[in-house]
Chain A
Amino acid sequence: MSASVTALRPAATATEPLRRFLQVARGAGLRVSAAEGIDAARAVDIVGYADRAILKDTLGLILAKTPEEKDIYEEAFDLYFKRDEFAAKDDEDEQRGPGERAGPGQNQQGGEGMGGSGGQSLGQLLESDDRVAMATAMEAAAREAGIENIRFFTQKNLYARRILDRMGLRQVERDIEALRQTGTPEGLGRGQFLEGKVDQLRDSVRDFVERNLILFAKGETEKFREELLKSARLSNLERRDMDRMRVLVRQMAKKLAARYAKTRRRRLRGQLDIRRTMRRNMGWGGIPFITVWKQKRIEKPRVMVLCDVSGSVSAMSQFLLMFLYALNEALKDIRSFAFAGSLIEVSEILEREPVEQAITKIMELIGFGSSNYGNSLADFADGWMKHVTNKTTVIILGDARGNRTDPRTEIMSELSSRSKRIIWLNPEFRSAWGTGDSDMYRYAPFCNLVTVCNTLRHLERAISDILEDAT
């Protein structure tokens, strides 16, 4: 505890390990801004490195800002500060006693440029079996080799080789060769001993590189994968990507919501509402003690979503619903309907339960029957047409393939005249529209917008349009 109140250390000694940790944290997926980096440095100045638990709590306050980030942070912290570099340092600190306790940054200087610790050659190091010195040397060599730039697992061998080279493996190999050439039993014995040590060293370096790969590259690979997912066709997604998709959808929705979340009323400062001011101040004989300012109402869009949940379209529907419900803040009244052969309202199920479970429940309710658009539209007209007002945006998601049933376009026509607008999202490519049993072109005239929508990016764009027009 005493270390936490010792006076400020010079910042220079403290920043190096912290700077590398910030890099690790960013790599692990935390968004650490420059300002937060500075805060972290100031915080470390105050608490110091001595007490790991306090350091962990402290940096956690500054670097991780959501429960998910806290988890990531804790993992990264443990990985980073449990590495040999720091373990070794603690040992040294204890050996030296408290008087000479040095900031972790200082110790590294010995190793730099030499590729070895304290001027010892790799051969000497191997023979002395000094694990601490070895770890320090490895750490220094790794820094020279630029280990923090490792991004892909294919680079593992490359970096392992570089580190070994920098530690002076070539020289040791030459030494072994020379020992073998001597032919004396003593020389051969030493050669073999060294060879065994070199093998051990190789293993530990490989291990070391692997740990660093996890540390530095995790965020990169995930970013890469996410980019891929955003433009992948949703019907082709694999099960294992679902979790990640859910997170992505939530992120995108949050971004959109933040952009469009507006208060419903906005004061027009400086414009007096004379009529209402007079009214409010009648009691004072018209002297305007209380002023009333003009206000503007901003409507949040009301949305009705009709989702085809038959067969291939269901994957898309699931994401659309997920998206909309994540957007709750920016939207008012979302009412959702699912249809295949017939149509039911599912808003309540979706509100009550997490979307994934809700979707399975909906599937159970109306199942995978073959879709009948005419019938479903008629159901909608019977039950809910009266709720459609000129403020309602109707989104229909489906492939418009009604299995050659009557498309009932007259209902669409009524819907289009009652509603603010109709947007049709079709997961099929444009070239497939109108082929076979597709009634897309028969519905299209009644829609304000018909668009292909089969990836997350499409979905984001479509929803962003909906929000934009509403303001």
Chain B
Amino acid sequence: MNDVLPMGQSPLLSIAEVDAGLGAAGYISNSQISTAIYMAHHLQKPILVEGPAGVGKTELAKSVATWMKLPLIRMQCYEGLDESKALYEWKYGKQLLYTQILKDKIGSVISDTDNLAEALNKLHDFGDIFFSKNFLEPRPLLRALEEPGGAVLLIDEIDKSDQEFEAFLLEILSDFQVTIPEIGTVSAITPPIVLLTSNSTRDLGDALKRRCLHLHIGFPDEKLEARIIASRVPGIDARLLKQLVSFVQQLRGMDLKKLPSVSETIDWAKVMVLMHTSVLEVDLVRDTLNVLLKFEADIEAANKQIAGLTHKARQDAGIAA
């Protein structure tokens, strides 16, 4: 565990390189995010990514996978998720089918035995066949460990799963191995890069947090957001971009139930581009506000201030009202 991978072989030579790599994959990173990926690789530790919905937590994992050309294995967590869905399951149907088919064979195998004890002994030798890898259905966690070239494992919305499941994850997160009673311990061939995301709907256990690097992604500042939108919505007019970002940033300063996130800004920008807008108009903003805000009460609250916000956004972009 302690040794660092040989530097020459890994694409993660420096933090700047992570920055550039993610950028090439279409993810505009900041120094903290890049440092996290870099450290995760070198310390071989999972990253726990927290932050409001829609700031690009899941996107980060996808981009890392694209950039490093590793398969992305995603596991969505939900209440009631257990190891048979997350780790492995015996192909019970197949086991049953095979025993049915092999019935006659079994008859012939034990036909030459004299008594029950002998027959049982003979069967014991075959018994393990049915609990071998052939009958094992690997689920995301096991698949990530068995991927020979390594993988990016995304455990999405870990806060939605139960507390017990969290405890179950500890073994795989700290040692990159799992124990299957019938087979033994399976260790990762190449340790995967593991990202866990959480929206903080509940507090995660300390044991889990201790094993992870903790990355908090907040709302981006104006500059970063503009860069993100520009990369995600190619062909957007620079002045429109400025107005959009300024407007959204102002919205985030308001007292709303759910603040608009980067993904909402991207959607909104796409809408604006589709409508061939270049200057924000109050009416247009009012009609499209539901792209940004998802609660009736929020839309109402924002509606009252729309004129002011739009005016300010235009000013920021250098357009005379």
Q: Which of B13, B203, B212 meets A5, CB within 8 Å?
A: B13
User: Given that A61-B215, A261-B163 are known contacts, is A46 also in contact with B31, CB under 8 Å in the complex?
Assistant: no
A287 to B50, CA, bound (A): 47
Bits for A56-72, please: 1 = Cβ < 8 Å to B, else 0: 01101110111100100
State whether A54 touches B35 (Cβ < 8 A).
yes
A71 to B215, CA, bound (A): 13
State whether A258 touches B163 (Cβ < 8 A).
yes
A271 to B141, CA, bound (A): 26
For residue A42, CB closer than 8 A to chain B, the reply is yes
CB distance from B180 to the nearest CB of A (A): 15
Q: Which of A1, A33, A290 meets B210, CB within 8 Å?
A: A33
Q: Kindly list chain A residues whose C-beta atoms are within 8 Å of the C-beta of B211.
A: 35
Q: Which of B15, B48, B79, B163 meets A1, CB within 8 Å?
A: B15
User: Given that A42-B43, A289-B93 are known contacts, is A58 also in contact with B35, CB under 8 Å in the complex?
Assistant: yes
A4 to B14, CA, bound (A): 7
State whether A1 touches B31 (Cβ < 8 A).
no
State whether B45 touches A39 (Cβ < 8 A).
yes
A64 to B80, CA, bound (A): 29
For residue A265, CB closer than 8 A to chain B, the reply is yes
For residue B7, CB closer than 8 A to chain A, the reply is yes
For residue A36, CB closer than 8 A to chain B, the reply is yes
CB distance from B52 to the nearest CB of A (A): 11
Which B-chain residue is minimally distant from A36 (CB atoms)? B210
User: Given that A36-B210, A258-B163, A289-B92 are known contacts, is A265 also in contact with B80, CB under 8 Å in the complex?
Assistant: yes
For residue A233, CB closer than 8 A to chain B, the reply is no
User: Given that A54-B31, A261-B163, A263-B162 are known contacts, is A289 also in contact with B209, CB under 8 Å in the complex?
Assistant: no
State whether A61 touches B203 (Cβ < 8 A).
no
State whether A64 touches B96 (Cβ < 8 A).
no
A195 to B203, CA, bound (A): 58
Q: Kindly list chain B residues whose C-beta atoms are within 8 Å of the C-beta of A290.
A: 92-93
Q: Kindly list chain B residues whose C-beta atoms are within 8 Å of the C-beta of A43.
A: 39, 42-43
Bits for A184-199, please: 1 = Cβ < 8 Å to B, else 0: 0000000000000000
A288 to B96, CA, bound (A): 9
Q: Kindly list chain B residues whose C-beta atoms are within 8 Å of the C-beta of A289.
A: 92-93, 96
For residue B213, CB closer than 8 A to chain A, the reply is yes
CB distance from B171 to the nearest CB of A (A): 15
Q: Which of A4, A64, A254 meets B214, CB within 8 Å?
A: A64
CB distance from A269 to the nearest CB of B (A): 10
For residue B133, CB closer than 8 A to chain A, the reply is no
Q: Kindly list chain A residues whose C-beta atoms are within 8 Å of the C-beta of B50.
A: 67
Q: Kindly list chain B residues whose C-beta atoms are within 8 Å of the C-beta of A60.
A: 32
For residue B294, CB closer than 8 A to chain A, the reply is no
Q: Kindly list chain A residues whose C-beta atoms are within 8 Å of the C-beta of B214.
A: 61-62, 64-66
State whether B216 touches A70 (Cβ < 8 A).
yes
CB distance from B147 to the nearest CB of A (A): 25
User: Given that A61-B35, A261-B163, A289-B93 are known contacts, is A46 also in contact with B42, CB under 8 Å in the complex?
Assistant: yes
CB distance from B185 to the nearest CB of A (A): 20
For residue B205, CB closer than 8 A to chain A, the reply is yes
Which A-chain residue is minimally distant from B212 (CB atoms)? A65
Q: Kindly list chain A residues whose C-beta atoms are within 8 Å of the C-beta of B42.
A: 43, 46
For residue B164, CB closer than 8 A to chain A, the reply is yes
Bits for A1-37, please: 1 = Cβ < 8 Å to B, else 0: 1001100100000000000000000000001010110
Q: Kindly list chain B residues whose C-beta atoms are within 8 Å of the C-beta of A288.
A: 96
For residue A228, CB closer than 8 A to chain B, the reply is no
A57 to B32, CA, bound (A): 6
CB distance from A300 to the nearest CB of B (A): 13
State whether A35 touches B210 (Cβ < 8 A).
yes
> For this complex, into which size category does the number of interface residues on chain B fall?
35 or more
A31 to B209, CA, bound (A): 11
8 A Cβ contacts from B23-57 to A: 31-32, 35-36, 39, 42-43, 45, 47-48, 50
For residue B16, CB closer than 8 A to chain A, the reply is yes
State whether A263 touches B14 (Cβ < 8 A).
no
A46 to B41, CA, bound (A): 11
For residue A53, CB closer than 8 A to chain B, the reply is yes
Q: Kindly list chain B residues whose C-beta atoms are within 8 Å of the C-beta of A61.
A: 32, 35-36, 39, 47, 213-215
CB distance from A274 to the nearest CB of B (A): 16
State whether A62 touches B15 (Cβ < 8 A).
no
For residue A329, CB closer than 8 A to chain B, the reply is yes
For residue A291, CB closer than 8 A to chain B, the reply is yes
Which B-chain residue is minimally distant from A288 (CB atoms)? B96
Q: Kindly list chain B residues whose C-beta atoms are within 8 Å of the C-beta of A329.
A: 202
Q: Kindly list chain A residues whose C-beta atoms are within 8 Å of the C-beta of B47.
A: 61
8 A Cβ contacts from A181-238 to B: none
State whether B205 touches A46 (Cβ < 8 A).
no
For residue B117, CB closer than 8 A to chain A, the reply is no
For residue B4, CB closer than 8 A to chain A, the reply is yes
Most buried by A among B14, B45, B210, B211: B210
User: Given that A39-B45, A57-B32, A289-B92 are known contacts, is A5 also in contact with B215, CB under 8 Å in the complex?
Assistant: no
A53 to B213, CA, bound (A): 17
State whether B96 touches A57 (Cβ < 8 A).
no
State whether B164 touches A263 (Cβ < 8 A).
yes
| Interface pairs A-B: 9 shortest CB-CB | A57-B35, A61-B213, A65-B214, A65-B209, A263-B162, A57-B32, A5-B14, A289-B93, A46-B42
B-to-A contact residues, CB < 8 Å = 2, 4, 7, 13-16, 31-32, 35-36, 39, 42-43, 45, 47-48, 50, 79-80, 82, 92-93, 96, 162-164, 202-203, 205-206, 209-216
Known: A33-B210, A287-B96. 9 other contacts (CB 8 A): A4-B14, A5-B7, A5-B13, A39-B43, A57-B31, A64-B214, A67-B50, A265-B80, A289-B92
Can you list 19 pairs linking A and B with CB atoms under 8 Å apart?
Answer: A1-B15, A4-B15, A5-B13, A5-B14, A8-B4, A31-B206, A36-B210, A46-B39, A46-B42, A54-B31, A61-B39, A61-B214, A61-B215, A64-B214, A66-B214, A67-B216, A263-B164, A289-B92, A291-B92
